[in-house]
Structure 1
Amino acid sequence: MPHDAIEMYKSETAEVTWMYTLKWLARQSTVHRYKNLITQLLFNLTDQESRNRNIQHVP
Structure 2
Amino acid sequence: MEDVTNRKLIFKIIKKAETITAALLASKIGISEKGIWYHLAKLKKAGEIKHIGPTKGGNWVVLKG
Q: TM-score range by the shorter chain?
A: under 0.3
Larger RCO (CA within 8 A; separation ≥ 6) = 2
TM-score (norm 1): 0.27
Structure having the larger proportion of residues in helix? 1
